A = this chain, B = another copy of it.
Amino acid sequence: MSAFPPDSASVARQVPLPTPFALQAGGELRGAEVAVESYGRLSPARDNAILLFTGLSASAHAAAHPGDTTPGWWEPMIGPGRAFDTERYHVISVNSLGSCFGSTGPGSTDPATGKPYGEAFPELRVEDIARASQAAVEASGIERLHAVVGTSLGGMTALAHAALFPGKARFLVSVSGALNASAYAVATRSQQREIVGAALRGFPGAPSVGQAMRWARKIGVLSYVGSSLLEQRFGRDQTEPFAGRASGTAFEVENWLEHLAQKFEHQFDPWSYWHISRAMDLFDFGEHGGTADGESPGRRRTAASAARAAARFRVEEALVIGVHEDILFPLVQQRAIADTLKVAGVKTELVELHSAYGHDAFLTETALFTPVLRNFLGQGRESATSRPSHPALDSLSQ
């Protein structure tokens, strides 16, 4: 699986953040750090770096490297000749601030108390993830990134980065991201947090934390994958008539969900899950555009404020990729990102793919994403963006 060359410059490291590290919502962290992996050599001019922002639950381990030869979460995309060609680019992958895979988060020791932060972890926002990652980039002496790329939450983070650090990246790629969360996304994620939060706080009638994490994960998975995938993979298959489980049935789709839930329970810190999930719901790109004269500062942020935020971008070109079957970050939101960037004068390519995997497509259907990203990130990009759509790709997985 490993694709690194013997003379790889790929490394995993902890990068200390400036201290105190001020947070978007007013709090601060002291002695914080982020876990970073990088793949491919940084050029002498330090102009070939691509910063990769992850989804909610991923670590910085996006690809195998000599120090960790297990496949990364985007393994087929990163390596020599792959979409993120490590012969050309220096890919920097950062574990989100607030997460639990080496970056400072609720599971880390609070230097003020000597104990894990837990509930006391300060309010986290998507902007904090963007700032912490940018600090790691600057620690490598990189003045300007070739590109920022983000998937899911990472797409939101890429937009936040472009708003916070205009001119610091030439290109922007958002994969299944959003300007802000839809009402459905808020509803399903807040429900996951309600279950986990009630358990963490020991509310009356709450389940155990482990049980809460398993249920939250199952609710989450049902928002990540397309229903047609479940139909194709499981249909109505059953393992045995009644397994005596609390649902009273034993459909294989239940076994699969339980397997994913148990794996996740032992992998992810509950407070990290709660904080990052909340940050996703609270993110609103339009906040970076403020309110114009005569415009109501009402609850529903206008397309105009998003366009004003994007107008500050100094991105040369953007690529927005979405998936028709995605119910969590639906296509209408991909079009909204692209429209916002176009109105702001950013040359933008929108690619709409089909995949039964829905929101999770970028993790699994890498063969669909590879040509789109490779095209954009270098070879033949100029000619590619002159085409308005990708009908061949659009029908690949139908």
**Which one of A29-37, A58-66, A204-212 is at the interface?**
A204-212
Contact of A301 among B197, B222, B236, B327 (CB under 8 A): B236
List, in ascending order, chain B residues with CB within 8 A of A237's CB. Answer: 299-300
Contact of A187 among B207, B222, B299, B301 (CB under 8 A): B222
Report if A161 contacts B (CB, 8 A). Answer: no
List, in ascending order, chain B residues with CB within 8 A of A385's CB. Answer: none
Oligomeric state, in number of copies? 2
A182 and B278 contact, CB distance less than 8 A: no
Q: A205-B211, A206-B211, A222-B187 are contacts. A197–B248 as well, Cβ < 8 Å? A: yes
A227 and B183 contact, CB distance less than 8 A: yes
CB proximity of A359 to chain B, nearest CB, Å: 13
B235 and A183 contact, CB distance less than 8 A: yes
A247 and B190 contact, CB distance less than 8 A: yes
Q: A197-B247, A227-B183 are contacts. A215–B190 as well, Cβ < 8 Å? A: no
Report if A346 contacts B (CB, 8 A). Answer: no
A181 and B257 contact, CB distance less than 8 A: no
Report if A115 contacts B (CB, 8 A). Answer: no
Residue of B nearest to A239 (CB): B299
- Interface centre among A184, A231, A330, by most B CB within 10 Å? A184
Report if A368 contacts B (CB, 8 A). Answer: no
Q: A278-B247, A281-B249 are contacts. A227–B184 as well, Cβ < 8 Å? A: yes
Report if A193 contacts B (CB, 8 A). Answer: yes
B236 and A194 contact, CB distance less than 8 A: no
A231 and B182 contact, CB distance less than 8 A: yes
Report if A186 contacts B (CB, 8 A). Answer: yes
Q: Which of A5-40 contact B (CB under 8 A)?
A: none
Report if A267 contacts B (CB, 8 A). Answer: no
Cα distance A120–B284 in the bound complex, in angstroms: 50
Question: A190-232 vs B: 1/0 string, CB under 8 Å?
Answer: 1101111110010111111011000100110010000100110
Contact of A215 among B195, B233, B234 (CB under 8 A): B195
Q: Which of A74-121 contact B (CB under 8 A)?
A: none
B187 and A257 contact, CB distance less than 8 A: yes
CB proximity of A190 to chain B, nearest CB, Å: 4
A251 and B300 contact, CB distance less than 8 A: no
Cα distance A197–B249 in the bound complex, in angstroms: 11
B218 and A180 contact, CB distance less than 8 A: no
Report if A47 contacts B (CB, 8 A). Answer: no
B253 and A193 contact, CB distance less than 8 A: no
* 6 A-B pairs closest in CB distance: A205-B208, A197-B246, A184-B227, A183-B230, A205-B211, A190-B247
22 A-B Cβ contacts within 8 A?
A181-B236, A182-B230, A183-B230, A183-B231, A183-B233, A183-B253, A186-B251, A187-B230, A190-B247, A190-B254, A191-B218, A191-B219, A193-B247, A193-B249, A194-B246, A196-B246, A198-B246, A205-B207, A206-B211, A236-B284, A237-B300, A251-B281
